[in-house]
Structure 1
Amino acid sequence: MTRPSRLVPARWPDLLLVVGVTLLVLGPVLLDRGFVLVGDMVFVPDQPWKDTWTGGDGGVPRAVPGDAIVSLLTTVVPGEVLQRLVLAGTFLGAGAGMSRLTRDLPFLARAAGIMAFLWNPYVHERLAIGHWALLCGYAALPWVASAVVTLRERGDGGDDVRRSRRRAWALLAVALAVAGWGSPTGGVLTTVTALVLALGRTRRALGVLGLGLFVNLPWIVPAFGNGADQLAPDAFGVQAFASRADTPYGLVGSLLTFGGIWKESIVPPDRGDVLSATVGLVLVLVAAYGWWASRRDPVLPWRHALGLGVGALALALLGGVSSLEGLVEWVVVHAPGGGLLRDGQKWVAPWALVASVGLAAAVAHLRERSVRRTQSGQAWLVCFLLAPVAALPSLALGLGGFLHSDEFPDQWHDVRAEMERLAVADDLVVVLPFSTYRRFDWTPRTILDPAPRFFPGRMVTEDALTVPEGTVGGESALAARVRGAEGADELATVLSEAGVRWALVHRSSEEFTLPTGARVVEDGEQLALWRLVDPVGEDAWTGEWRPVAYAVLDLLVLCGTVGVALRFTLR
C-alpha cells in the first residue's frame, strides 16, 4: 500500500470522534474531584519515593518502573490530576494510533476501526479491574504497528524514505517505552507485536528486538536479579486466572469478541445478553471478511497479522483448556517470567488490534463496492460505527457509574505527616490486617491497599490473593512467614527477626492479631500507627547494591530512549 509522504489535515474528524468517545466513557470521572479507586487502580495525592518502585527492594517487579514515574510526576502534578491525564491520554492515544495506522482508508473505515479498538469488552473489563498500566500498553499497540509497517516498506533509499524510516524508529522507541514502563505485560505485548510484524525483514526484526529489550530493561533486570526473598509462583494461579466464558458462545466466542476475563464480578452485564453477544460476534466475522478482502493491499502485513491474531487468541485460550493446563502450570512455575501467562485474557490485546484493523478494511471494501455498483451514498455503513456501542452500552458514563471518585480521609494525611516526622521512610512497616485488597467505609469499591503508595516506609504487605476457587499463594517469603504466624508472640518474633519496626493498622471489622509488645503512636477511627519492639534481626536489604544500581539503570534507559528518539527525529 502506498503511503503518503506527510499526514493529511483531513484527519480532524478522527480527532473529534476520539475526543467524543473519551468524554462519553470517562466524562463523569474527568469532571469530578477526588481519586478513581477501583481494583488495582490506586493513585494517591503525592506518592513518596521508595526503592520498591525500581525493584530495589528485592521483590517481584510488577509495577516497575511505572510506580517510579508516578512517584516523580506526583511531586509536580497532584495525583488526582495525573490520574485523569493518564486515563484520558490512554483513550486519546489509542484512538489517535488507530487513526494513524488506518490513515490511507476513508473516514468511515477509519472511524469503524477506532470504535472497535476503543469500545470493546477488553477495555471495559481492564478498566473495571483497575489495570490502567496495561491499558497504556494497549494504547501503544497501533503506534507500534504503524511504525513497523513503515519500517517494512521497500524503497529506493531516497530522502523521503530515509526520513520516514527515521521517524518510524523514533515513534517505535517512544511507543515501546510507554508500554514497557507502564507494566511488564504491556512491554511484552508491544514488543512481541512489533517483532511478529517485522519478521521477514531480518535487520529490521533484530533492530526491533534490540530496542524492545533495551526499553524494558528496568523491569527485566530486577525480574532476573532479585529472588533471595521470593517463592516460586503458585501453579494454582493458572486455574484461578484462566480466561472464562462471559457470553452464550462459550470461551472461544468470548475471547473472539475481546472478553473472557477471569474475574466474574466485573464482567459487563451486556455480555450475557444473546443479542449483544451476537452483535459482537458479527463484528468479528465482518472483520475476518475485511482481512480476506484486503489481502492484496492490506493495512498490516497480511500473514504476519494473521499469525499475530491467532497466536494471541491461542495464548489467551491455553489456561482455560483443561488438557493444556498442566503445560501452562509448568511454564509458570519453572520458566523465568512465566507468571505473565497466568492471566490469560490479557493476551487478547493484539487480537483486538488485528480485528479492529480488519473491520476498518471491511468497511473500506464495502464502501468501494457500494460506490462502484450503485453510485449512491454510504450512510448505511455508519451502522459499523454504532455496532460496538450497541454490543456494549454499559461502557458509557464511567462504566455505567462503576467508576467513582472519592477523597482520602483527613486522618490518612495526619498519619502520613506523623510517619514523616518519625523518619519512617527507611524502616520496614507491616500493614495489618494482613490482606491484599480492602473495603473502606469511604469508598464503595474493593481496592488494592493504598497504604504502600500513600505512606512512607517499606511496607510488608500480603501478596496472596483469595478468589472464589481458593487462594493463590504469593511470592514473598517474608509475607508467607507473617501469614503463617500463629498468635501474637509468634508474630512478634517473625517481625522482629525480619527487622520490622512499625505496624500500620487499618481500623475495620476484619479480625487480626497485633504483635506482642507493640505501643500505639497514633490512633484514630481510620488508622493506627504502632511502634514494635526493637528488632533483633537486620533488614535483609540494608546496604544492598540493588536500589542504587536499579535507579541508575532506569535513568540510563530513560536517557537512552530519549536520545534514540531525538537522534532519529532530528537527524
Structure 2
Amino acid sequence: MPAYAVALALVVTAPLLAPGYLLLRDAVSTPRSYFSDTALGLGESAPRAVPQDFLIALVSPVLDGGVLVKALLIAGLVLAGWGAARLADVLVPDAGLPGQLVATTLAGWNPYVAERMLQGHWSLLVGYGSLPWVAAAVIRLRGERPEPSWAGWAAVVFWIALAGLTPTGLLLAAVVALVCLAVPGDGVSRLSCATGVLIAALLAASPWLTASALGDALESSPSSGVVAFAARAEPGLGTLGSLAGLGGIWNAEAVPSSRTTLLALLATAVLLAVVAIGLPTVLRRRSAVPLLVLAAVSILLPAAVATGPGLAVLRALVEAAPGVGVLRDGQKWVALAMPGYAVAGAAAVVTLRHRLRPAIAALVCVVAVIAVLPDLAFGVWGKVTSVRYPPGWVAVAGIVNAAPAEVAVLPADSMRQFAWSGPAPVLDPLPRFVRAEVLATGDLTISGQSVPGEGSHARSVQRMLLAGGRPEELADAGVGWVVVETGSPGTLGDVQRTLRGLPVAYRDGDLTLYRVGGANSSAPQGKRILSGSAHLVWLVLLLIAGTATAVAAVRDRRQARSG
C-alpha cells in the first residue's frame, strides 16, 4: 500500500521532480533561509508560517531549500494516502487491500489536494497527510489491546507535532485526536487520552503561541478579509455542495480547470456516491462513527459561515478576538472530512461484495474518482512546476547579507508576477532569500477587494517611497536597502525622486539594489531567545517522538516476520 500511495503522489507532483524551486502563490522556496525575526514569528505579520520557516532555516544550510520544500509536499501527499489505508485497516479490516486502495485514492486524489497545491499551501498538506495517522494512533490507544504505552503515545505525539509544521495543521490534528476520544475501548481512558493530546498540542503549538504573546500583530488582525476568504460555490453546486465535494476554496484562480465547468458537479456526485455506498457498512462500526460526525460538521459549519449571518458572526468574533482570524479561510477546515470519507470509501467494497468482487468494486471506485478529476495529474496539468531564479537574486542576497539592514521592496504589492516564474502570482521571495528583515505590508487584493495586512511600519515606509521622500528620511526610518523588482506589476508612484539620490549597489534586467544606509534593527534579544527556545521545544518533541515511533515500527515488523 505504501507503494501505491507513493505512485499516486508522484503522478500528482511529477513536475516538481525537475530541478528548481516551488514558487506559486503562497508557496515560496529559496536556496537558503535564515533565522530572521519573521522566521521566528516576531515580524509585523501574524506568525502564520512558524515553525515551518524555522525548520527550513535550520535545514537549508545542508539541504537546498527548494529540495526540502518539494520533498515535504510530496511526503504530505504520500502520508495522506498511506495513512488513509492504515486507518481503513484499523476501522474496516474486512475491506482488505481493495478497500485500502479506495481509501488511499480518496485521500490523495481530490479537489482539496488540487486547490491547496495551487494556492501553494504545501505545509498545510503535510498537516492534512498527518490526520489519518493521528486518528489511527488515538483509536489504537483507546482500543481493547492498545500498543505498549510508550509506543502508542509516541505515535500520537509525533503525528500531532508533524501536523504542527503550520498552526492550521496543528489545530486540524488536535480536533481529529479529540474527536477520536469518543471511540469505545478498554485501553487508555478518555481522560488520560485527552490530557495527553492537549499537552502534546500545547507543546507543538509553543512556537506560534510564544510568538503571538511576544508580538502585537494579532492585536490589529483585520476583519475585512472575512468575506474575501469565505468558501466559494463552484459551477452547478452551491457552497454546501462544493464543500461536500472537498472543493470550494476562496480563490477562484487556484482551482483545476475541470472544477470551473459542470464537470465539478459530476465529480462531486461520484465522490459522494463512493462515500455513500460505504455508509451502511461503516455506520455499524462504532469506532468509525465519530469520524463520520466530524466529516459532516466540517462541511456544514464552513457552509453556514459562508452565509450572510455566518459572515456577520465571524466578523464580530475576529473584531473581538483577532486571533480568531485563523478561521477566516473556511474551506481549509474541510480537511477534517478526509479521514471519515476515506474510511467510508474503504467500506464501499464491503457493502458491494454481495454484488461485485471486492477487487472489481475497488477498481470501479478508484477509476471513477480519478477520471472525474483528470487534471490533478502532472502538477494539476502543469500549473505546479519547478522554476529557476535568475542569477541576480543570488547576487543581491549576497550583497544584502554582507551588511544586513531593513529592506524595502518595490513595486508596492505583496504579490509578484515574474515572467520567469509563470503566469500565477506569488508572494515576494525576497523575505526568505536574505538574512535581513524585508518590509512587507501583507496587503492583498482579492477579487478587487483590498485586504490590509498587519505591516504598519512597512506601510509607512512604502508611503514614504511612493511619495518620493528624501533618502535621509528612509535611513532615519531604519531602511538599509531598497530593491526594485523589475517587470512585476504594482504601484511605483513618485519613487524615482527618492531613488535618484541613492547609490546603486547592483543592477540587471530583473533587480536593482539601492544602498540607503539605515542601521540594522531586529527584535530584542530576549524575545528572540524565548521564541527560539519555543521552536526548539517543538523540534525536540518531533525528533524524540519520531524516533520512538520508528523504533516501534521496526520492532513490530520484526515480530511479524518471526511470528
TM-score of the alignment, normalized to the shorter chain, above 0.5: yes
Which of 327, 333, 343 lines up with 1:357 in the alignment? 343
Matching residue within 127, 130, 133 for 2:120 = 130
Q: Which consecutive unaligned segments of at least 5 residues does structure 2 have? A: 184-189, 553-563
- Counterpart of 2:14 in structure 1 is 27
C-alpha distance 341-230 of structure 1, shift in aligned 2 (>3 A) = closer
Given that residues 370 and 378 in structure 1 are in contact (C-alpha distance below 8 angstroms), is that contact kept between their aligned partners in structure 2? no
Q: Is the 8 A contact 1:34 1:406 kept in 2?
A: yes
Residue 269 of structure 1: how far off its partner (Å): 2.1
Letter paired with 2:324? G
Tell me the residue number matched to 1:556: 537
1:532 pairs, out of 516, 531, 540, with: 516
Residue aligning to 1:518: 502
Structure 1 distance, partners of 2:529, 2:470, is 31
Instruction: Please tell me whether the aligned partners of residues 54 and 535 of structure 2 are also in contact (alpha carbons under 8 angstroms).
Output: no
Cα distance 1:335–1:542, how it changes in 2: closer, same or farther (>3 A)? closer
Deviation per CA, 1:520-563: give whole Å up to 9, x if none: 2222221111122547xx94x45342111111221133224434
User: Which residue among 408, 419, 422 is the counterpart of 1:430?
Assistant: 408
Q: How does 1:357-506 map to 2 (within 5 A)?
A: 357-367=343-353, 369-370=354-355, 378-421=359-402, 423-424=403-404, 427-444=405-422, 445-485=424-464, 487-490=466-469, 495-506=474-485
Mapped partners of 2:45, 2:102: distance in 1? 43
Q: Which amino acid aligns with 2:429?
A: P
Does the aligned pair in 1 maintain the 2:155–2:545 contact within 8 Å? Answer: no
Equivalent residue number for residue 187 of structure 2: none
1:547 maps to what in 2? 528
Residues 210 and 568 of structure 1: is their aligned pair in 2 closer, same or farther, counting only changes over 3 Å? same
TM-score, normalised by the number of residues in structure 2: 0.89
1:237-276 superposed matches below 5 A: 237-276=225-264
Structure 1 residue 57, shift from structure 2 partner: 3.5
Q: Is the 8 A contact 1:47 1:71 kept in 2?
A: yes
Contact 2:11 2:377 in 1 (8 A): yes
- Inter-partner Cα distance in structure 2 for 1:89 and 1:311: 28
In 2 relative to 1, CA 487–68 (structure 1 residues): closer, same or farther, beyond 3 Å? closer
Deviates more, 1:45-54 or 1:487-496: 487-496
**C-alpha offsets along residues 356-413 of structure 1, whole Å, 9 cap, x if unaligned?**
211111222322x337xxxx67524411011111120010111111122221111111
2:142 is the counterpart of 1:168: no
- CA distance in 1 between counterparts of 2:536 and 2:386 reads 33
Q: Deviations over 1:302-346 (max 9, x none)?
A: 1x2233112211332243101211101112222252111111110
Do 1:246 and 1:267's aligned partners in 2 also have CA atoms closer than 8 Å?
Answer: no
* Inter-partner Cα distance in structure 2 for 1:279 and 1:561: 37
TM-score when scaled to structure 1? Answer: 0.88
Query: Cα distance, 1:570 vs. partner?
Result: 6.8
Equivalent AA in structure 1 for residue 363 of structure 2: V
Aligned CA distance change for structure 1 residues 282 and 131 (closer, same or farther; 3 Å)? same
Give the Cα separation in 2 of the matches to 1:47 and 1:111. Answer: 38
Where 2:38 maps in the other structure, the secondary structure is: helix
Task: Report the 3-state secondary structure (helix = DSSP H, G, I; strand = E; otherwise coil) of the residue aligned with 2:369.
Answer: helix
Q: CA RMSD in A?
A: 2.4
Partner-residue secondary structure (3-state), 2:157:
helix
1:169-318 equivalent positions in 2, closer than 5 A: 169-181=153-165, 183-199=166-182, 201-227=190-216, 232-298=220-286, 300-302=287-289, 304-318=290-304
- 1:105-163 Cα shifts (integer Å, max 9, x gaps): 311111111101100000000001111011010000011011011111135xxxxx352
- Could you tell me which residue of structure 2 aligns to residue 9 of structure 1? none
Please give the alpha-carbon distance, in whole angstroms, between the structure 1 residues aligned to 2:24 and 2:547.
37
Q: Is the 8 A contact 1:238 1:319 kept in 2?
A: no
- SS in structure 1 opposite 2:352? helix
